[in-house]
Structure 1
Amino acid sequence: MTDAGVDLSQLSEDHQLALHQFTAVTNQEVKDAIPILQRCQWNVQIAIARFFDGEPAEDPVAEASANIPAPQDTRRQANLLHELNTSSRSSRSRNRQLDPAPRVVPQPESQVTAQTPLLLSIIFTPFSLLYSLLSKYFRFFGYLFPFLPRLWGRLTASNINTPAGRRTATGRRPLNPRDSAARFLREFEEGYGMHSLPFFENGYAQAYDMAKKELKFLLVVLVSPEHDDTSSFIRDTLLSQEVVDFIRAPENSIILWAGNVQDSEAYQVSAALNCTKFPFAALVVHTPQVSATAMSTVARITGPTPPPQFVSKLRQAIQQHSEPLTRARAQRAEMQATRDIRQAQDSAYERSLAQDRERARKKREEAERKAREEKEAQEQEQAKEREARKLEQWRQWRASSIPSEPAAGGKDIVGISLRMPSGDRVVRKFAADAAVEELYAFVECYDILQSEEGVPKGVEEPKDFEHEYRFQLVSPMPREVYEVKAGGSIREKIGRSGNLIVERTDVEESGEEEE
């Protein structure tokens, strides 16, 4: 075997690659890394496992190689290496406890109040009352003498130069999470120029919630401007193309949040993540193997770290927790699909129910419309029947009040020839001073006057009934209509005799109703 002082140029390309991978993960010196790799036959995984778990008393690879025949050496050695690698990883995963990553919500300093102990509040109660009385007393005097407040303001003018906003010990004004993130990005671009890092432009709690909801990795980067390695870490590692490409890669699902520990929120995050050295980076992810809602810190990177080592640690942590995260995503997708199916079924049921309700509503409205129409028709029929009964009662009452025909040869008699709607001609004599309405009443009650039973006696005039003649008397040549509303006597309107035609005025109305 080659000793530890061998020249790197003498190593093969595979051995140089193995040496580079081992030093990137373990941060060991080359002179210390080569002996371990030589003892592990340049197997990087076994060398890393031995470095973190300690080397066993006996070399399992050498012992296995010595006890196995030559033709089967390569195959069984590979199996042994695989078993050793699997056992070392399982032992490390069992022994290592995932640190919980709490959700940090900074409390505004203006809302921070200190509760006074009960004993002190009791002791200072008299002083509080005295202060209240004095304050009211001085306010009263200030109201009476307005120059006193101005004089007191001049005496205490030293407070005018105090800044209006409260500032921290570092001189930074405390802001809300979104404004703090915007200030960090602005200072970052001013100090290091334009970049391609996808910083999350909001508070840590919002980034935490997004990573938990979308099952992504949350990369938290905390820097301290007072630390000597901050500038070199940002320029050489964080802004290196390798790190930027790794963070922006969609398959890695990384949310990047960074903060300055001089800000209140970033300082609280550093305390929650147990940050002891700057610059600091932590990878936080949902760990369903711990609990259904757990968020854990799965990787920590402290101090200045080369880009390959920085990316290697992140990649290793992502690979270790990708499988549980994939299962969680699948479960969520299945739950979401089930929820969508149930929602679609509920929507279809609601639509069907709405259609049934609409049909029932239309059916009910149609039934109500028919019932309303039937009721209206029935009411109209009843109204017509009442109207007909009252009209018949009026005709009987009016027929009883029509005077008898004057005797022939008498004075002041007018002879009228009437042609009825039936075509019959009726000749009758009327008193000359009789009103035209008498002539209309005779025509209206002619059938009762000519009936065999005669005119009924004792019929009263119907109440709440206004009679209207539905015909008119017309003189044919020249044509002249003698309206009942015009009034006047028969002699004034017609003369000593006349031929009149009875024309019905309700023919058109009845025709329209039939149509």
Structure 2
Amino acid sequence: MADNDVSQLSASQQQALEQFTAVTAQETKDAIPLLRRSQWNVELAIAKLFDGEAADPVVEAAERAAAPAAARPQIPPPSPLPTPGPSLGAGSRNRVTISPAPRIVPQPTAVSRRPSLLISLLLFPFSLVWRLSNSFASLFYTLFPFLARFRTATSPPSRTQTTRRSQNPRDTAARFIRLFEEEYGTDTGLEFFEGGYAQALDLAKNELRFLLVVLQSDEHDDTASFNRETLINPEVVEFIKTQNIILWAGSVQDSEAYQVSAGLGCTKFPFAALISRAPSSTSNSQGMSVVSRIVGPTPPQTLVLKLTTAITTHSEALERIRATRAVHEAGRAILEQQNSAYELSLARDREITRARREAAERRAREEEFARAKAEEKVLLAKNRIAWRQWRATTIPKEEPVGKDTARVSIRLRNGKRVTRRFNGGASMEEVYAFVECLEYLDESATDEETPERPGGYAHEYGFKLVSPMPRQVYELRSEKDGSERTVKDCLWPTASLVVEVDDGEDNEEGEDN
């Protein structure tokens, strides 16, 4: 029991033990010796458990040399699953008689071409003799019908019997099922496969099921009795449903069923063949084999007994294949889940990276926009100051008292009031410029250098000159025709104005007007 102690195993051996027990549901005391004999290879141990374990003299000698005989527990190899059925001798004989099941795909029939007139004239005597012979043979078998029984009972079907029009496999199967139901009723309980033989064979291979192929000849005397007494017998129908057998049937009058009968070696009717995955069919690329043949009229009890014997013999091989396939499917499912989780994690990481990149780009754009706005604001303020300095140099001196002068009193934004005389012919823009550049008038008189007008800058006045009582706004241009308004038109001979700042105009620091 010390050899089976889990605590004495290494980390890798304990991991292999967990994987093996999770897949096979074996106990630890039985799993450790099998894994030790498999060199702790999980896949090899699973294969030995399901397929049986062959004796290895080299491994046994190494184990005997490594430990004394008294300390080695005698652990028998895993025995195959018990299955009810015939004895081992009968199963061995059945395994010997299996043969590969051919995968037959119906070939399209060749289109006959009409021979030329010369060849028809040359072959006319032979054709006439052939027709007369066939007519005589048909008349002979009509007069003596018991002779036709010996001819069809022991000879395989011939091409002359396939007189039905060739159709695709699905239509051929539908026609056989329709004729069968018309003859024996629709409540027989049989569920024929509605497709071709190759499709039924592929379905049995993929789903690891048994395929029962039934071939019949409409000209055979035992066909009707076999169908009525055996095939639609409730015991046979219930057995086919219970065992989940795929049932495919056809008449050798059809091209596909004729080719299947030739491939399966059918020599007598009615004929039935049970096809399944068999481990000894190594020469068959499809892996399908005929595990049982039932030839000639057969009672229902005998048919069920033969099918039961074949199914019992080969069910163990199918169970091993199903177990191996389940292990592979479980591994594939785990791998797909891991890949899905990995792809989901990658997608989540990509989404986070994309969001971070977009946020960084958005912040960079906002910072760039704010920087551009700040630079634009600074440049605008600089140009506005430069324009005011330049415009202050262009404002003429105050007009003396005269008949064409207007005396204007202006209350500035800071509450101070200034009075100035303007020429009546001057435009209202001169008054606006005086108010805008009031703080730079004294500087312009003392500056030695004349400021230059900033290029590319269009100045806009951020205030209005308004007469308070009655309220009247004096615009630079007339609203009617858009012409410039003069001082004489608006402010002559005297006027009292108030400076009103437009909404949104920022008050500049250091401004005293």
TM-score if structure 2 supplies the norm length? Answer: 0.68
User: For residue 104 of structure 1, what is the aligned residue in structure 2?
Assistant: 104
Alignment of 1:270 onto 2:261: yes
CA distance in 2, matches of 1:507, 1:307: 105
Alpha carbons 2:162, 2:255 under 8 Å: kept: no
Asked whether the 8 Å contact 1:284–1:298 carries over to 2, the reply is yes
1:484 pairs with one of 476, 490, 496: 476
Amino acid paired to 1:200: F
Q: CA RMSD in A?
A: 2.4
**1:288: how far off?**
3.6
What's the offset of the Cα at 1:485? 2.9
Name the structure 1 match of 2:332: 339
Question: How big is the shift at 1:445?
Answer: 1.1
Do the aligned partners of residues 459 and 168 (structure 1) sit closer, same or farther apart at CA in structure 2, a change above 3 Å counting? farther
Partner of 1:459: 451
2:249 is the counterpart of 1:258 = yes
Summarize the alignment of residues 130-279 of structure 1 with structure 2, pairs less than 5 Å apart.
170-194=162-186, 195-249=188-242, 252-279=243-270
- What one-letter code is carried by the residue in structure 2 that aligns with 1:413? T
Looking at structure 2, the residues matched to 350 and 454 of structure 1 have their Cα atoms a distance apart, in angstroms, of: 78
Structure 2 residue runs without a partner (length 5+): 1-85, 114-158, 479-483, 508-513
How far did 1:508 drift?
Answer: 6.7
Deviates more, 1:491-500 or 1:278-287: 491-500
The amino acid of 2:254's aligned partner reads: D
In the TM superposition, residue 402 of structure 1 has moved relative to its aligned partner by 1.1
Give aligned pairs, total.
369
Q: Distance in 2 between matches of 1:287 and 1:305?
A: 25
Q: Is the 8 A contact 1:414 1:497 kept in 2?
A: yes
Q: Tell me, in whole angstroms, the C-alpha distance in 1 between the residues paired with 2:102 and 2:205.
A: 12
The alignment partner of 2:443 has SS state of: coil
What is the identity percentage for the equivalent residue pairs of Structure 1 and Structure 2? 53
> Separation in 1 of the partners of 2:331 and 2:224?
50
1:403 to 389, 396, 403: 396
Please, which of 497, 507, 514 is the counterpart of residue 494 of structure 2?
497
**TM-score normalised to structure 1 length:** 0.68
* CA–CA distance in structure 1, aligned partners of residues 364 and 319 of structure 2: 66
Contact 2:277–2:289 (Cα < 8 Å) also in 1: yes
What letter corresponds to residue 109 of structure 1 in structure 2? T
1:396–1:455: 8 Å Cα contact kept in structure 2?
no
C-alpha distance after superposition, 1:58-87 (max 9, x if no partner): xxxxxxxxxxxxxxxxxxxxxxxxxxx856
Partner amino acid for 2:459? Answer: H
Q: Distance in 2 between matches of 1:185 and 1:367?
A: 71
In the other structure, the counterpart of 2:126 is none
Q: Which position in structure 1 is the counterpart of 2:290?
A: 297
Q: Distance in 2 between matches of 1:183 and 1:232?
A: 20
Structure-2 residue corresponding to 1:374: 367
The code of the aligned residue for 1:92 comes to R
With over 3 angstroms needed to count, the CA separation of the structure-2 counterparts of 1:433 and 1:508, relative to structure 1, is closer
Aligned: 1:412 with 2:419: no
1:89 to partner: Cα distance: 3.7
Q: SS of 1:173's equivalent? A: coil
- On the 8 A contact 1:415/1:428 being kept in 2, the answer is yes
1:222 to 1:169, Cα distance in 2 relative to 1, 3 A: closer
Distance 1:168 1:204, change over 3 A: same
Flag the 1:169–1:494 CA change in 2: closer, same or farther, 3 A: farther
Change in Cα spacing, 1:266 to 1:91, as seen in structure 2 (3 Å) is closer
Deviation at 1:174? 0.7
Query: Judging changes above 3 Å, is the alpha-carbon distance between structure 1 residues 169 and 323 closer, same or farther for their aligned structure 2 residues?
Result: closer
- Shift of the 245–92 alpha-carbon distance from structure 1 to 2, 3 Å rule, reads same
Mean Cα deviation higher: 282-291 or 171-180:
282-291
Is this contact kept in 1: 2:94–2:291, CA < 8 A?
no
Checking the alignment, whether the CA contact within 8 Å between 2:98 and 2:289 is kept in structure 1 is: yes
Q: Which amino acid aligns with 2:89?
A: S
Pick one of 461, 469, 475 that aligns with 2:461.
Answer: 469
- The structure showing larger relative contact order (alpha-carbon pairs under 8 Å, at least 6 residues apart) is 2
| AA at the equivalent of 2:456 | D
Separation of aligned partners in 1, 2:112 and 2:266: 27
The 1:460–1:451 alpha-carbon spacing in structure 2 relative to 1, beyond 3 Å, is: closer
Letter in 1 for 2:294: I
